[in-house]
Structure 1
């Protein structure tokens, strides 16, 4: 259950950026999407530190964890939590590889169309490239410091796990700054990326459990 819950809440967050937002017009949306898609095409690896904030309505404070994220094209992703506990999850070849403080297990995502889809959403959200997916209704916003895109799933099964994705992009590099996933209960998880390194060498051994 813990692993299924992690899949459902992995990429949720809420932004701490309070600059005034406005809607993007059609020309701005087209230019923005073209820039993101072009960046995605030339991105082979991403390495980043992150801080995750898990918000639950019944708790007065968010649960904060820290770790490192690694991505390698086309679809390898590793989330390694380092504080306050040791826990890693690797998405690899339709498999979910879990290492919970030395206790290892695997989950086959290929047998579940739903979780296979969630896996792909996780990969694309790390890259910032969800724009060609017809499974979402999308809303685009801008501020002086960032772009924000809200993705609302159309599929009812996905919506039972994920009410919406929200991605924040840096305006200069169009990199993903933060990722948020809101649950149907309105609880959410916020992941803030720091010290992102793009296209640095990344050995496949990183994605071994």
Structure 2
């Protein structure tokens, strides 16, 4: 009986290792496909509905807005009224503006959050393999031919800001359908995209924060 149990345990371990290797191989193949498809992206624009869950307060806040990405390093995230606030990620740092206030911070002042937001930009439209040094990545083709990618931080400094980033990408391997970001065990943001537009013209003025000097 003991030998049989040992044999079954060994078989189970070998089976788990085989499945793990297959999962790693599948992830690498999917990430390579995403990398190839996304090479042609220059701009990405979309409408979105954002639901933020605050576990401690047991509340959910729903907002609507517009996303504009200009690769390789610019993002504009606008929440429409009644929220009426816009965030920017630029090579210089982070900025926001609302009807009541505005501010900016360079990358050193923004700390780990600047790096995390850069990573979100990569998840949305860049080469996902760039995240591998800092994140454990899982990628899989879904039954409806969409692609699901989950990025889990390896570094505790990153996980203190963001526990995981998950994105569902359309069949074209380019257009985001949904992104889910877990900030803690109880706080998360889920964003559903619509009207996704690839490589449409973007006014450079939209990507320039009001706190940044005009050229």
Aligned length: 187
State the partner residue of 1:188.
Answer: 188
- For residue 51 of structure 1, what is the aligned residue in structure 2? 49
- State whether structure 2 residue 158 is matched by structure 1 residue 158: yes
Q: Could you tell me how far apart the structure 2 residues matched to 1:153 and 1:167 are?
A: 15
1:155 deviation in Å?
A: 0.7
Larger mean Cα displacement after TM superposition, 100-109 or 151-160: 100-109
Change (3 A) 1:173 1:132: closer
Higher helix fraction: Structure 1 or Structure 2? 2
Q: 1:175 matched to which residue of 2? A: 175
1:71-91 deviation per Cα after TM superposition (whole angstroms, max 9, x unaligned)? 112111000110332000111
The equivalent residue for 2:90 is 92
Gaps of 5+ in 2: 1-19, 211-215
Structure-2 separation of matches of 1:141 and 1:81 = 31
CA contact (8 A) 1:94 1:116 kept: no
Q: CA deviation at 1:172?
A: 3.9
Aligned to 1:144: 143
Aligned-pair CA distance for 1:174? 4.1
Asked whether the equivalents of residues 150 and 166 of structure 2 are also in contact (C-alpha less than 8 Å), the reply is yes
Q: 1:138, 1:149 within 8 Å by CA — same for their partners in 2?
A: yes
Provide TM-score, normalisation by structure 1.
0.80
- Contact kept? 2:137, 2:150, Cα under 8 Å: yes
Q: Where has structure 1 moved over 6 Å in runs of 4 or more?
A: none
Instruction: Flag the structure with more relative contact order, 1 or 2, with Cα contacts below 8 A and sequence separation at least 6.
Output: 1
Give the distance between the partners of 1:118 and 1:173, measured in 2 at CA.
Answer: 22
* Whole-angstrom CA distance in 2 between matches of 1:112 and 1:119: 10
CA gap 1:96/1:160 in 2 versus in 1, 3 angstroms: same
- Over the aligned positions, Cα root-mean-square deviation in angstroms equals 2.2
Question: Which residue of 55, 74, 77 maps to 2:75?
Answer: 77
Alignment partner, residue 20 of structure 1: none
- Unaligned ranges ≥5, structure 1: 1-22
Q: Specify the alignment match of 1:35 in structure 2.
A: 33
Cα 1:132–1:207 shift into 2, 3 Å: closer
Query: By how many angstroms is 1:150 displaced?
Result: 1.5
Larger radius of gyration: 2
Aligned equivalents of 1:113, 1:57: Cα separation in 2: 25
User: Equivalent of 2:64, from 57, 60, 66?
Assistant: 66
